[in-house]
Chain A
Amino acid sequence: MATFDLSAPESPEAVVAALRAAGPGGATPLAGGTDLLFDLDEGRVAPAHVLSLRRLPWRTLDWVAGALTVGSTLPLRALEDDPQVRTLYPGLYEAVRNVGSVALRQRATMGGNVVRSAPASDLIPILLALDAELDLFGPQGSRRLSVDRFVIGSRRTELRPDELVRSIRFPEPRPSAFCWQRVRPSNDISQVAVATAYSPSDRTWRVAVGGVQPRPRLLPEAARELTGPDPPPAAVGRAAAVAAARSPFVSDRRASEEYRRRLVASLVERAVGLTRPAPPRSA
């Protein structure tokens, strides 16, 4: 590991100013560090400055009429421990609690996961299915961008060099589900991950798949086969078949393309079946 200066600015403005001053590649923000530290350790990145975000007031979980806003530096474990997340965003809960290990989730953050944009990210598919929107903080203030537009490739996003992700907003509670397949169930990367959600407000489905190169993506062709909150088995089967046919695939050390296609079909079918309206909220 090369040496670097570590600082922990008190304000987002100070972080952004430091990023601008260092220029591209000269400084790296550090949230949970569960991904970045490997790059630093292996020398894949060698910034002169590492800017810890731990003092920013972004470790937040806010509810406005059921809409959830997650501060970008909130440890994932806090989401998993929130009973409302579990009830109102069941797919998100499932995705979060299956990221890495408990120890890792005590540090890992949703902001970091989106910014690092790994092809096998277990969070991006459910963020896509739930139509999550990012609040980006930069020198010119805020801008909003959907996760679908923000993630553009493997380890590539629309984030500008002097921008930070401030929060991730989920517009409405949705019946949702997250299903995955891994070589090893615990503490591993998914071979395929599928997230599904049904929007009661516009009566549409969203189906997203991860673990496929180069980035997790929505499968609108598959979602179009699904109508209403409880689609018939034939429609679910069609959606699964379309997803398996349309999804981009790779064959690698974790699974063959053939097996990935089979997994997408199986997991889409399973996830749609698990996407059920939330039970009524207790008084």
Chain B
Amino acid sequence: MTAAARPDAGLKLTGSAPYGTDLDVPGMLWAAFVPAPVAHGRLRGLDLGAARALPGVTVVGPDDLPGLLGPRERDAERPLLVPDEILYRNQPLALVAAPSLAAARAAVAAVRVDVEPLPVVADLESVFPDWPGSDAGAHPQVAAHVHARHGDLAGEFRRADRVLAETYRTASVHQVALEPHACVAEIRGSTWYVHTSTQSPFGVREDLASLLGVPEESLVVDGTWVGGGFGGKGGSFLEPYALLLARASGRPVRFALTYEEEFRLGRTTLPAVIRMETAVRDGSIRARRVRLLLDVGNSLPGRDFATGYSIGFLLGPYRTEAFEVEGYAVRTHKPPFGPHRAPFAPQCAFVVESHLDHVAREMNADPETFRLQHLWVEGSTTPMGQTVGPFGLRPAFERAMTTARSWRAALGPGQGVGIAGGFWSTGTGAGGEARLRLGPERLTVLEGEREIGSGSVLAGLTAVAAQATGIPPDRIDIVYGDTATAPFDSGVYGSRTVGALGRAIQEAAVRLRRTLAERLHGQGQAELVVREGTLVATLGSRSAPVAELLTEAERAEGGLVADGRHFAAPNHLDEDRVVAGQFYPYNDFAGSVHVAQVAVDRATGQVRVERYAAFQDIGTVVDLGSAQAQVEGAVAMGLGTALTEEAIWTDDGRLVNDGLLDYRIPTLGEVPPVDVTFVEGYAGAGPNGAKGLGEPPIIPVPAAVAIATRAACGAHVTELPLSAERVARALKLL
């Protein structure tokens, strides 16, 4: 277990790794959207004539679509261009492609749009000023209604010593990947080909097939280097538009967003209001009631996943005798909700941890011991009736408490220390496959995921392949395929890469080593070692250079091939607890516990994070350097959610801060060094018991900062982010 330089570091530092925005194909056109000028309205007229008349310009309007789309049935609920009713500002009305970006913009400017404005619903609290009644599931602005309960809720609340109730609000935050969405599309004969910066080439292919009515076998998606995804580059976005323009123009088409467009159109976390009620008796949590209003923007009714998935995180990793959760996905005139690293879980942890800290304080209990006493451990039953597997949350929490005690011993005025925990479902998700090819001296791993910057592919999968085969990492090459050549993989999401593809690689490695054992006239699995510069297979006392064990055909093809695949075991929750809507089981629980030390300026409310420690339940560390970097990066990103990041929407549905000047991500000046400790030994489903890591370490950050802030100055802030102004209000400075 050693930290090594990332395999892609040199390429990226020297600018030799081409990202999506670097793509430059000879003869390509530049694309742009004709954006909707209002957040809600009826499209009365769209005059594309002047734009079409411009030299070299290709225009695609709604009426052109039937002639361009493929022959298959397409998803009619997801129109590519506004057919009639505009549902969010900048929604695409039409597309243009031109020989330069300036020419494309000039063409957009030449389009005449006639719109009848309609009333805008920009704020979910304007839809439900009071908590919705039980009939609200049928409300036209509700995309999903989820409801679950278990136990004697009414009785526990009636018998309680205390009932604590609070309301929390969380903000809209963006992924802020450094590279905006970008792709280049081409029609090559009968193949629709797109080269794109994506977390999931196969996911984009599936999406394109349903959006364009083109069979999957006619679509090829090839990934580029990805300048950050964080959830924002999961499904298709610009690809269908670039392909339509390529088909209409007969030329390759480049489509990349400006950073302002990235903010305005990005699918990300939207605001939420959460009501928490907790019944306590004899110092223990007896019952919890949680209600959630989640803004899902223009998400389609019936297709909201976020509410049913997230609401369980609002109960947190805590035991309770009885509970009720009820959530509403509220449609507003904003772009659709989309995933942002551990979607909505940092916000949930902020709410549940702050609330239980508050409950403990109100009960005159030690807030940390109180939470510790209620934590799930292996074998616990979750509120939704799942059994918790190996889970390192409690040991992580105990170690965090030790750290917090030592930090507290040295505190001065205005300083405070807080602990917060959280959990994530790091199941290995939908399927993944990998192909190993053993040449005379090197091993190639062929797979369908691109390295998106986390290190999970280039460092993580290389480490797994090295461990599984015995071949040193410097003799292993990761080769990405496009969707026509690579084995299937469902993509980089859900912290699944090392888990799913790692297990697939392990399976392939076993096959490879068995074949080598047979060729050494034995049974079992051969070992692979480097002897005097030569790759050698050994089995007991027998050994031979790999080169001599390959058949002639294998030497001609480049090596001995073995395939592996991994599909996660299905998990279940207790459906008897579901009253309404769709809930989702969690898999392979990973715990995270963080300690933050902050200093609060009592005259301004400014919070500065001074020290930070993260304890991560990881199962097994696969690659220490990239694992540490993942935790550090997640903490930095979480500090933005905690302190400064907040997309602000006007009442007419316009995003006010659509740039990095007024949408503030942390700089190095705001991120203290992070002490990272991995809690190993609580095995997950990944290779050698590894658990997913990309998302879990962002989850406790806003909560840890909020609890430390309260410890430092008494300010109990129930709204994210903890801007100085909000802290000042909590301190009654205003």
List A residues at the B interface (Cβ < 8 Å): 101, 181, 183-189, 253-256, 258-259, 262-263, 266-267, 269-270
- Partner of A184 from B666, B725, B733 at Cβ < 8 Å: B666
Provide 19 A-B residue pairs closer than 8 Å at the C-beta atoms, listed in order of the A residue: A181-B724, A183-B723, A184-B644, A184-B664, A184-B666, A186-B668, A186-B669, A187-B667, A187-B669, A189-B661, A253-B648, A253-B657, A255-B725, A256-B725, A259-B725, A262-B728, A262-B734, A266-B733, A270-B603
**Cα–Cα distance between A262 and B604 once the two chains are bound (Å):** 8
Q: Which of A101, A185, A258 contacts B670 (CB 8 A)?
A: A185
CB pair B604–A263 under 8 Å, yes or no, is yes
Contacts of B154 on A, CB cut-off 8 Å?
none
- Using Cβ atoms and an 8 Å threshold, which residues of chain A touch B670? 184-186
State whether A254 touches B662 (Cβ < 8 A).
yes
Would you give the shortest CB distance from A121 to chain B, in whole angstroms? 15
| Chain B CB within 10 Å, residue with most, of A186, A256, A259, A270 | A259
Q: What residue of chain A has the Cβ atom nearest to residue B666's Cβ?
A: A184
State in angstroms the CA–CA spacing of A65 and B662 once bound together.
Answer: 43
Cα distance, A186 to B648, chains bound together (Å): 21
Closest to A258 in B: B734
Q: Which residue of A is nearest B733, CB measured?
A: A262
Number of A-B residue pairs at CB separation under 8 A: 50
| Distance in angstroms between the alpha carbons of A183 and B604 in the assembled complex | 11
Residue interface bits B271-305, CB-to-A below 8 A is 1, else 0: 00000000000000000000000000000000000
B218, CB-defined interface residue at 8 Å: no
- Further pairs besides A184-B643, A185-B606, A185-B669: 14, Cβ < 8 Å: A181-B724, A184-B667, A187-B667, A253-B656, A253-B662, A254-B662, A255-B725, A259-B728, A259-B734, A262-B604, A262-B728, A263-B604, A267-B603, A270-B603
Q: What per-residue 1/0 map shows which CB atoms of B569-607 lie under 8 Å from chain A? A: 000000000000000000000000000000000011010
**Which chain B residues border A259 with CB–CB below 8 Å?**
724-725, 728, 734
* B566 within 8 A of partner (CB): no
Cross-chain contact of A186 among B606, B667, B723 (Cβ < 8 A): B667
Q: What is the distance, in angstroms, from A177's C-beta to the closest C-beta of chain B?
A: 14
In the bound complex, residues from chain B placing their C-beta under 8 Å from that of A185 are: 606, 608, 669-670
Closest approach, in angstroms, between the C-beta of A118 and any C-beta of chain B? 12
Do the beta carbons of A183 and B664 come within 8 Å of each other?
A: yes
Which residues on B sit within 8 Å (CB–CB) of A255?
Answer: 725
**Shortest beta-carbon distance, A78 to chain B, in Å?**
21
Q: How far is the CB of A50 from chain B (nearest CB, A)?
A: 19
CB atoms of B606 and A181 under 8 A apart: yes
Q: What residue of chain B has the Cβ atom nearest to residue A255's Cβ?
A: B725
Distance of A99 Cα from B168 Cα, bound (Å)? 35
Q: Is B604 touching A266 in the complex (CB atoms < 8 A)?
A: yes
Contacts of B656 on A, CB cut-off 8 Å?
Answer: 253
Which residues on B sit within 8 Å (CB–CB) of A263?
A: 604
Q: Tell me, in angstroms, the Cα distance from A181 to B606 when the chains sit together.
A: 8
How many Å from the CB of B607 to the closest CB on chain A? 10
Residues of chain A within 8 A (CB-CB) of B669 are 185-187
Measured in the bound complex, the distance between the Cα atoms of B602 and A262 in whole Å is 12
A180 to chain B: closest residue by CB? B604
In the assembly, what is the distance between CA of A39 and CA of B723, in Å?
29
CA A263 to CA B669, docked complex, whole Å = 22
Measured CA separation A221–B603 after assembly (Å)? 22
The 9 closest A-B pairs by CB, nearest first: A186-B669, A266-B603, A184-B664, A186-B667, A259-B725, A184-B644, A181-B604, A187-B667, A253-B656
Measured in the bound complex, the distance between the Cα atoms of B656 and A130 in whole Å is 36
Query: What residue in chain B is nearest A2 (Cβ atoms)?
Result: B102
Residues of B within 8 A of A183 (CB): 644, 664, 723-724
Chain A residue contacts of B725, Cβ below 8 A = 255-256, 259
A254 contact set on B, CB distance < 8 A? 662
- Return the chain A residue nearest B721 by Cβ: A183
Q: Which residues of B contact A258 (CB under 8 A)?
A: 734
B667 — which chain A residues lie within 8 A by C-beta? 101, 184, 186-187
> Which A residue's beta carbon lies closest to that of B669?
A186
Task: Give the CA-CA distance A258 to B648 in the complex, in Å.
Answer: 19
Contact partners of A256 in chain B: CB under 8 A = 725
A269 to B602: give the CA distance in the assembly, Å: 13
Distance, CA A254 to CA B723, complexed state (A): 10
Do A188 and B664 touch (CB < 8 A)?
yes
Q: A184-B664, A253-B657 are in contact. Are A269 and B724 (CB under 8 A)?
A: no
Chain A residue contacts of B728, Cβ below 8 A: 259, 262
B23 CB → nearest A CB, Å: 22
Once bound together, how far apart are the Cα atoms of A183 and B670, in whole Å?
11
Report Cα–Cα, A65/B664, bound state, in Å. Answer: 43
User: Once the chains are docked, how many angstroms separate the CA of A266 from the CA of B731?
Assistant: 14
CB distance from B303 to the nearest CB of A (A): 33
How many angstroms from the CA of A101 to the CA of B668 in the assembled complex?
11
> CB-nearest residue of chain B relative to A186?
B669
A15 vs B662: C-alpha distance when bound (angstroms): 35
With the chains together, A183 CA to B657 CA distance in Å?
Answer: 13
A267 and B604 CA atoms in complex are apart in Å by 8
- Bound form: Cα–Cα A255–B668 in Å: 23
Bound Cα distance A253, B650 (Å): 11
- Residues on B with C-beta less than 8 A from A253 are 648, 656-657, 662
Interface residues of B in 611-669 (CB under 8 A from A): 643-644, 648, 656-657, 661-662, 664, 666-669
CA distance A258 to B724 in the complex (A): 13
A185 to B670, CA, bound (A): 7
Residues of B within 8 A of A270 (CB): 603
**Which residue of chain B has its CB nearest to the CB of A256?**
B725
B248 to chain A, nearest CB (A): 29
In the assembled complex, the Cα of A65 lies from the Cα of B667 at a distance in Å of 40
CA distance A185 to B606 in the complex (A): 9
Across the interface, name the chain B residue whose C-beta is closest to A266. Answer: B603
Give the distance in Å from the alpha carbon of A267 to the alpha carbon of B643 in the complex. Answer: 21
B470 to chain A, nearest CB (A): 46
In the complex, what residues of A have CB within 8 A of residue B662's CB?
Answer: 253-254
